[in-house]
Amino acid sequence: MSAAGAARPGSALTVGAAALFPAPRLARPAAAAASLPQLFQPAADPEKPADILLVDGVDPSWPQALGRALDTPVRGVLLCAPTVVPTAEAQALAARAGEAGRPVVVATPFPYDAAARDALSRYGPTDSPTLIDSVVTIRDDGDGRPARSLLGVAFLAQLAAIATITGPVPVLTMNLDTEHAYSATGTRDGLTVVLAGLVSSLPAPSLRIDLLGAHRRHTIRLADPGPSTVVSYGPLGMSGMPPSYQGGLRNAWRNLHAAVTAAEPVRFGLRELAAVLASAPPWSR
């Protein structure tokens, strides 16, 4: 490992989850943490508080779970794939975590994906997209989680992506809003966004986003499992970076470590989540 990628000796944070949350739901983020062994290690001593806690966001009661996590002497929290909750709850938690100086990283795919950031970096200020077209699918594993909660996870992931790309999300009109699927459209300042989301039993859920403008088009696909791909069309033709296996979850963990140990800013945290929730149309749970 290069010097730049190496963690400082003794800086690994302990991660606890099993005591508070059922482990199967957290298998993916736990595996991502395990892929960063110099930054994170499992909490071995159940008597000793863990540095980091994982909170499963699929359950609509995640604000209460996160509140309980913040009641412990935890140094930071990874909120994984949150579903839609009232904005006020997220705002209150953001204020509470901020006052306590405990970073909470919201692990939602787009803001933490290296390929997505690369795509955005290719967009100049003069060739902004005029149409954003996105479809997100989330897998129903048949483990009893309500489809509507899963759909809420997909919706927030998509809104977080749009907010990362464009700033404030346009006011959305729901074309379809059912237990398993939604379709929404919004227009603001010359930008139209068309969003669709589905709960599916098919494997390989993904978040696909097409950014279209007068001169450029980017097609971004974040898949689970990866890789993430970006294909861009511009005046010089088509280009694309090699598929990226540096998934968003791994980068979210890195961000959390840096926020806890080096006071670096959280790229997408509770404040950003609350802003996204505030832009969402009414969402029945």
Is the CB of residue 121 less than 8 Å from the CB of residue 241?
no
Options 28, 122, 148, 216; binder of another protein; rule CB under 8 A: 216
Q: Residues of 190-229 as b/e, b for ≥16 C-beta within 10 angstroms?
A: ebebbbbbbbbeeeebbbbbbbebeebbbbbbbbbebebb
Name residues whose C-beta falls within 8 Å of residue 157's C-beta, 6 or more positions apart in sequence: 81, 108, 109, 110, 136, 138, 207
Per CB under 8 A, 280 contacts another protein: no
Minimum distance from CB of 173 to another protein (Å)? 5
Per CB under 8 A, 194 contacts another protein: yes
Per CB under 8 A, 146 contacts another protein: no
Tell me the per-residue interface mask from 151 to 190 with another protein, x by CB under 8 A, - otherwise: ----------------------xxxx-x-xx-x-x-x--x
Options 34, 88, 171, 214; binder of another protein; rule CB under 8 A: 214
Minimum distance from CB of 219 to another protein (Å)? 8
| CA torsion, ordered 75, 21, 249, 14, to nearest 10 deg | 40
Per CB under 8 A, 212 contacts another protein: yes
Please give the helix or strand (H or E) that residue 102 lies within, else none.
none
Per CB under 8 A, 202 contacts another protein: yes
Per CB under 8 A, 83 contacts another protein: no
Of 240-269, binders to another protein (CB under 8 A) are none
Pairing between β-strand 229-234 and β-strand 217-223 as defined by DSSP bridges: antiparallel
Per CB under 8 A, 135 contacts another protein: yes
Per CB under 8 A, 123 contacts another protein: no
